Structure 1
Amino acid sequence: MIERYTPSRRYATLVAFLIDAEERLTDSALDMADKLVGSIFTRARNTKARSFSATSKNVARLMRLFQATIDALAEAASDGRDPMETLDATVGWATLLKARSEVGAIARTADLDPLTAAAERYITLRKFAPDLLETLEFQAGRGGAKTLAAITLLRNLNRAGKRDLPGDAPMPFRKEWQKIVIDQDDKPNRRLWEIATLAHLRNKLRSGDVWIERSANYRRFDSYMLSTEQAKPFIAELDLPLSADEWLDQRARELDKRLKKFAQSLKRDALQGVRFRDGHLQISPIRATTPPKAEDLAQQLNALMPPIRITELLHEVAQATGFLNAFTNLRTGEACPHENALLAAILADATNLGLSRMAAASHGVTRDQLFWTHDAYVRDENYRKALAILIDSHHRLPFSRIWGEGSSSSSDGQFFRGAKRGASGGDVNARYGVDHGFSFYTHVSDQRAPYHVKVISAATHEAPYVLDGLTNHGTGLKITEHYTDTGGATDHVFALCAPVGFSLLPTPARLSG
């Protein structure tokens, strides 16, 4: 298609593609490096845990020996006898001296820092780290001089093919590691120093203290912010005080007022399902509130519903809501004229059947039609627009008010296994086993409508995506309060939700019940 463009348009398109590709490739490289460094330290910690677990029987035996030693010394002190003679008679010096080497070995295992174990996988780091450091230009703010100096030194060593570190090599990492890195001859160990530097760089990239200019996810933090002039109209809409201290004082007074009211109600046992006993807050679990008769009625209503083909249902919903108008042509902006082909393409995505098999299972739609329709009309942004149309149509139905007003919502992630390994097969989250997969992070309104869905890595934290759904759903819902589980509640989400008008209501795990 691009060869049909005029030269100026073709070159502009290629330049735009390269700029976008550079950001994507930079982020992908840093993401992979982050996972590799993290996995090395995870394996090091697991190795230490297995080694320590293997000594559990010996630890139990040595603790019993230690208990017998203490008892012997206490008995000697109470009877006025010589403690050494008593200890030799009851426990035995030979027994204690024999256990000396075992105690030392177990102590060394317990004190082993993951950095030392990570050094065993140094070759893995060397496969990618030199190219990564040579390709990317890292920058840092005040306080990051040591980090940049360490990166520069590592680059120079790689270029010159040198192995030995200078005695004054910068050590930006924590003090515990600085002690481990220094050998017995008071010189820094190259392997330990390099691994510690790369782990430190990973943490600094995550926190934003170190950044890459030509990146989307790892660039300077303030580059994500609006300028002062751009922010003024939004600040006026938020109706917030100009001073952060003033706003914090207001919230502190309000919090103090509510906590005092809560404490008074708690003393009077006026809070249903909440008690304060023996210094612990006890919250009764919520019981099912649906009566059995309602469950029976639901089954009867379901039995009355006539069976219908999924394609017929899609046509009916499309005519009632007009959600197919969201699927416009990428070039012309016009709606798709072939409704059957478009619905078949959408259904292929929804069922994960694939376009070829969907074409084989369909009547009146060819494989070429499906592929052309999917390429021209089906995109992520069009799915978001179509979902917004469906949610708004559902919100306007009087029946939807039975569940709620559409002013509160909740979000959670759901894991789906991938079909294969590799970049397109997803990540591994130990919580769900050893299979690769993805997480679908979904926001659901109190009217049971999933108004925002985001596909994220199975291994990533859910909290950063809470505000995405609340602010970028594109529907007419006016969400004011939002519920999340422990995975979606962090200090950062609290800090950002409050000023923009959302009440974050977490449902943390491990509450007494």
Structure 2
Amino acid sequence: MLASLGLPADAAEHLAARAALLDGTYREVAARLPANARISADGDGRLHFAALEPEAEPASLVALRSAVNAMLPRVDLPEVLLEVFSWTGADQAFTSVTGGEARLKDLPVTIAALLVAHGCNVGFTPVVGGADALKYGRLSHVDQTYLRLETYRAANAALIDAQASIPLARAWGGGLVAFVDGMRFVVPVPSVYARPNPKFFGRRGGATWLNLINDQAAGLGGKVVAGTPRDSLYVLDVLYDRDGGRRPEMVVTDTASYSDIVFGLLTLAGFAYAPQLADLPDQKLWRIDRSADYGAFNDAARGRVDLERIERN
């Protein structure tokens, strides 16, 4: 396990490296702090960030938005899916559960209709049509034979690769920064994925869709979490069970996905963890060297990290 994670056998060696990194980071940020008028420290050493004011949209952005909106065609959702299939070949990922090579005629049309039916949660009736590819029996057969978890994941991998090849997506980033966040849904019917949580669902049950999106705007994967235990408990699951794409180097989350344990686990696993913490003035910062001078952080860094205790455990 240590070799696969690139960690030394001696814990003290690893802790010394982390201590040096923490000390260097404190000093680097403290040196930049005087030049940043938006960050201040009060008499109790609590850090405060001034709110960012919105910038006015430049005329060029307004013109670009109007031009793009004018170029967007008015098409139905199934047509969009068929167009994307033609670019990416994602429909080829939907193979028969029997392993047969033969493909049904107009299979992409049936798959597009089923994706709309499931994605919009409307059932088969709105997508049934007169064409053979859209008849109820054909839809039911393809749904049971071609659409399953492994084919969805293979199709998503094709979409991720195609997105990474777009010049604009490459300009956004290299796919090495990813954001993990959860969307909560009330589940009104009995389900193995639904659990009670009065804070979010009242008296009803619900589930959380924990989603992983990279800096190229591609969804790398996700996980259904029953109820809403802390999202942080499942961040590593989502990172290691991706449908495709490059392994992220930096992981960004909101406060709900943060805990000290997860911070440590992600660091040991080789990820740079960047939770966006709310209520910054109430956060307790930690230091290892009590005598170090960290400038404005001297009072804020009032927590003491005991390296010997960490090493013993």
- Tell me which interval the TM-score lies in, with the shorter structure as reference length: 0.7 to 0.9
Q: Partner of 2:263 in structure 1? A: 494
Q: Deviation at 1:284?
A: 2.5
Q: 1:297-316 counterparts in 2 under 5 A? A: 297-316=64-83
Q: Partner of 2:291 in structure 1? A: none
Q: 1:113-512 counterparts in 2 under 5 A? A: 231=1, 235-266=2-33, 269-271=34-36, 273-278=38-43, 279-288=45-54, 291-293=57-59, 294-332=61-99, 334=101, 336-337=103-104, 338-355=107-124, 357-360=125-128, 363-364=131-132, 365-418=134-187, 420-423=188-191, 426-434=194-202, 435-512=204-281
Q: Cα 1:502–1:360, aligned 2, differ >3 Å: closer, same or farther?
A: same
Local SS of the residue matching 2:280:
coil
Contact 2:48 2:281 in 1 (8 A): yes
Question: Take 2:120 and 2:157, find their aligned partners in 1: how far apart are those partners?
Answer: 21
Query: Aligned Cα RMSD in Å?
Result: 2.5
Q: Which has the larger radius of gyration?
A: 1
Which 4+ stretches in 1 moved above 6 angstroms? Answer: none
Deviations 1:32-52 (A, max 9, x none): xxxxxxxxxxxxxxxxxxxxx
Q: Which runs of 5+ in 1 are unaligned?
A: 1-230
Q: Deviation at 1:374?
A: 1.0
Q: Deviation at 1:472?
A: 1.9
Q: Deviation at 1:498?
A: 1.4
Q: Which runs of 5+ in 2 are unaligned?
A: 283-313
Contact 1:442 1:453 in 2 (8 A): yes
Contact 1:328 1:335 in 2 (8 A): no
Contact 2:39 2:48 in 1 (8 A): yes
Q: Deviation at 1:330?
A: 1.8
What amino acid sits opposite 2:48 in the alignment? Q
Q: Deviation at 1:506?
A: 0.4
Q: Cα 1:336–1:427, aligned 2, differ >3 Å: closer, same or farther?
A: farther
What amino acid sits opposite 1:422 in the alignment? P
TM-score relative to the length of structure 1: 0.50
Q: 1:55-94 counterparts in 2 under 5 A? A: none
Larger proportion of helix:
1
Question: Take 1:290 and 1:417, find their aligned partners in 2: how far apart are those partners?
Answer: 38
Question: Take 1:511 and 1:392, find their aligned partners in 2: how far apart are those partners?
Answer: 38
Question: Take 2:239 and 2:137, find their aligned partners in 1: how far apart are those partners?
Answer: 38
Q: Deviation at 1:317?
A: 0.7
Q: Deviation at 1:237?
A: 5.0
Question: Take 1:274 and 1:335, find their aligned partners in 2: how far apart are those partners?
Answer: 64
Q: Cα 1:479–1:335, aligned 2, differ >3 Å: closer, same or farther?
A: farther
Question: Take 2:259 and 2:130, find their aligned partners in 1: how far apart are those partners?
Answer: 47
Question: Take 2:28 and 2:265, find their aligned partners in 1: how far apart are those partners?
Answer: 26
Contact 1:330 1:377 in 2 (8 A): yes
What amino acid sits opposite 2:57 in the alignment? P
Q: Deviation at 1:502?
A: 0.8
Contact 1:326 1:335 in 2 (8 A): no
Q: Deviation at 1:505?
A: 0.2
Larger proportion of strand:
2
Contact 2:196 2:206 in 1 (8 A): yes
What amino acid sits opposite 2:29 in the alignment? F
Alignment coverage as a number of residue pairs? 276
Q: Partner of 2:304 in structure 1? A: none
Q: Deviation at 1:334?
A: 4.2
What amino acid sits opposite 1:451 in the alignment? L
TM-score relative to the length of structure 2: 0.79
Question: Take 1:453 and 1:290, find their aligned partners in 2: how far apart are those partners?
Answer: 36
Using the aligned pairs only, state the percent identity: 29
